[in-house]
Amino acid sequence: MEVKKILILFSLSFISAISNEIDENLKSFPADFEFGTSTASYQIEGAWNEGGKGWSMWDYVARARPEAIRDGSNADIACNSYHLYKRDIEMLKELGVDNYRLSIAWPRILPYGRPDYVNPEGIAYYNAVIDELLANGITPFVTMYHWDLPQNLNEQGGWITDEIVDWFGDYARVLYQHFGDRVKNWLTLNEPYVHCFFGYGRGSHAPLRTSPGVEFYECGRNILLANARAYHIYDEEFRAAQGGKVGLVISMEWVLPLTDSDDDVQGALDYAAYHIDHYMHPIFSEEGNFPQIVIDRVAEASANQGLNASRLRPFAQEQIDYMKGTADFLGLNHYSSKYVYRNSSVEGRYDVPSVEDDIHVVTYQPPSWPSHGFIYEYAPGLYNLLMYLKDQYNNPVVYITENGFSSDTGLVDDGRVQYMRNYMRSVVDAVADGANVKGYFAWSLMDNFEWSFGYTLRFGMYQVDMDDPDRTRTPRKSALVYKEILRSRVIDYSYDPDPYAALPDAAVAYYAPVMLNLIVLLFNLLM
């Protein structure tokens, strides 16, 4: 009897060891989890001066300051998606995605930025793209603004003039009017932190302004108000008839203290307050407004710098109320994590005034994290971030609107495959632990113009031959792996497809000799 029990227990523990292992490998996405890929207008469309389009501020930089782009390139043609969008949608079909996140170029719709003239060719182009997506069963998620501001509006102050809130609202209204019958998922603006930091703080993105302590904050403030304006316009004028959802895209890094010293822990909290809560808190918290820690810190630093007002201009209560709750869902862009520490080496390290000086930490990414370009792989960061958002912001609906890894050209992109699998695994785990994540978009469908890095960093699951006038697109290994995950809803680390075998030429090379042998055999038989 005892022996029998021991045997049963032994076999049960054996079975449970196996089944744990199987569970781990076959952890799957919920049945209603949605998958997609993302792109952005300036990075893929090309046709910079075709179809009645006006200049964006990036078109201006490409002409006036080409040295701002690492390889001196520009996006005049980029992936030529203005002409090749049907091929893009074919690729989406090949992958088997549910959703596609694209952006609309503001100057293609309103060449001068204001709605007194709406460009019919721009409307026709996006109508064609949206219709083609829907005809293929793919749901469009449309970003209204992914950094290509009409140059005309840039010359009038761009994101650092308060008037942009009206300009953006008027533009959003035009989009709802023309596309809202079919587009049900809107994203107002992409990545306030990155846009304001690199565009208005560090001067490496259009409009190349360098005011990290003042304009950086003004830009973020206006973006939050512009988002709220577009949201309220939808609510008041379109929601009842169109029944869609309006969110925005916020980029976030996960942050870890380098040691458990009080300084490092506080440094990590401060970094998170500036990078995550600065944009989340005004919209997703119950109290609204910028996080108090950021308000206090910038006010104190400004006073110490002899200024008689904070560089972070306060919101009026009316504005705080106006911004609260102005997103039906969060679009989360996440790529990397950082360690931070705070010690005497921070003193004198950064420009004064600047947001870096205000945060007052040093950041660090360990060489042990796999990296390429500016992306460092640390997948637990995504899990922790999703849990943080769940706990701090009452578990909002989240779509991961970007996540991805850069690589050199080449079809065997094992670094990207590993990165995607590990990060998607973090998503599965976070969902299992209660995070309200509804979907995942890989950045990016294909190689494209990576802003100040030009074409030196490739983020595509499809390789694009930028030297080929046809801009031929070819699936990398990551495309095949992603396709299999979407099909099976499981992240199978042992799946190892050969991207070359999937090529049409390879198929010819493989089957031609077989066919020839068959013909010879047949011929011999008949003779």
Burial class (CB in 10 A: 0-12, 13-18, 19+), 53: buried
Distance of closest approach, residue 454 Cβ to ligand NOJ, in angstroms: 12
Residues that bind ligand NOJ (rule: CB under 6 A) add up to a total of: 9
Tell me whether residue 40 or residue 248 sits nearer to ligand NOJ (CB atom): 40
Picking from 473, 478, 472, the residue whose alpha carbon sits closest to that of residue 498 is 478
Catalytic residues: 191, 402
How does DSSP classify residue 490? B
Stretch (H or E) spanning 464:
strand 462-464
Distance of closest approach, residue 441 Cβ to ligand NOJ, in angstroms: 11
For ligand NOJ, which residue of 214, 360, 450, 491 counts as binding (CB under 6 A)? 450
Cis status, amide bond into 444, omega within 30 of 0: yes
279-318 footprint of ligand NOJ as x/- string (CB under 6 A): ----------------------------------------
Distance of closest approach, residue 438 Cβ to ligand NOJ, in angstroms: 19
Q: CB–CB of 495/418 below 8 Å? A: no
The one-letter amino acid code at 370 reads: P
Q: How many whole angstroms separate alpha carbon 222 and alpha carbon 371?
A: 34
How does DSSP classify residue 245? E
Q: How many whole angstroms separate alpha carbon 323 and alpha carbon 231?
A: 9
Three-point CA angle 233, 250, 403, nearest 5°: 130
Distance of closest approach, residue 201 Cβ to ligand NOJ, in angstroms: 16
Structure tokens at 316: 């009026």
Tell me whether residue 358 or residue 450 sits nearer to ligand NOJ (CB atom): 450
Three-point CA angle 253, 254, 257, nearest 5°: 125
The one-letter amino acid code at 408 reads: D
Tell me whether residue 214 or residue 442 sits nearer to ligand NOJ (CB atom): 442
Q: CB–CB of 178/168 below 8 Å? A: no
Q: First CA to last CA across the chain, in angstroms?
A: 75
Tell me whether residue 43 or residue 337 sits nearer to ligand NOJ (CB atom): 43
Distance of closest approach, residue 402 Cβ to ligand NOJ, in angstroms: 6
Q: Quick check: 333 binds ligand NOJ (CB under 6 A)?
A: yes
For ligand NOJ, which residue of 176, 459, 462, 482 counts as binding (CB under 6 A)? 459
Q: Which SS3 state, helix, strand or coil, does residue 74 take?
A: coil
181-220 footprint of ligand NOJ as x/- string (CB under 6 A): ---------xx-----------------------------
Please state the separation of Cα 351 from the chain's center in Å. Answer: 29
Stretch (H or E) spanning 281:
helix 278-284
Q: How many whole angstroms separate alpha carbon 336 and alpha carbon 270?
A: 18
Distance of closest approach, residue 479 Cβ to ligand NOJ, in angstroms: 17
User: Hey, which residues does 371 pair with through a beta bridge?
Assistant: 376
Q: How far is CA 212 from CA 147, 234, 288, in A?
A: 18, 33, 24
Structure tokens at 84: 């090749």
For ligand NOJ, which residue of 253, 264, 356, 402 counts as binding (CB under 6 A)? 402
Please state the separation of Cα 362 from the chain's center in Å. Answer: 25
Q: How many whole angstroms separate alpha carbon 320 and alpha carbon 329?
A: 19
Structure tokens at 406: 């850069």
For ligand NOJ, which residue of 443, 455, 462, 482 counts as binding (CB under 6 A)? 443
Q: Which SS3 state, helix, strand or coil, does residue 154 take?
A: helix
Cis status, amide bond into 111, omega within 30 of 0: no
Structure tokens at 179: 């596309």
Tell me whether residue 68 or residue 502 sits nearer to ligand NOJ (CB atom): 68
Distance of closest approach, residue 191 Cβ to ligand NOJ, in angstroms: 5
Dihedral (Cα; 475, 478, 483, 487), 10-degree rounding: 160
Distance of closest approach, residue 97 Cβ to ligand NOJ, in angstroms: 18
Picking from 215, 180, 175, the residue whose alpha carbon sits closest to that of residue 195 is 215
Distance of closest approach, residue 205 Cβ to ligand NOJ, in angstroms: 10
Distance of closest approach, residue 315 Cβ to ligand NOJ, in angstroms: 26
- The residue ranges that bind ligand NOJ (CB under 6 A) are 40, 43, 190-191, 333, 402, 443, 450, 459
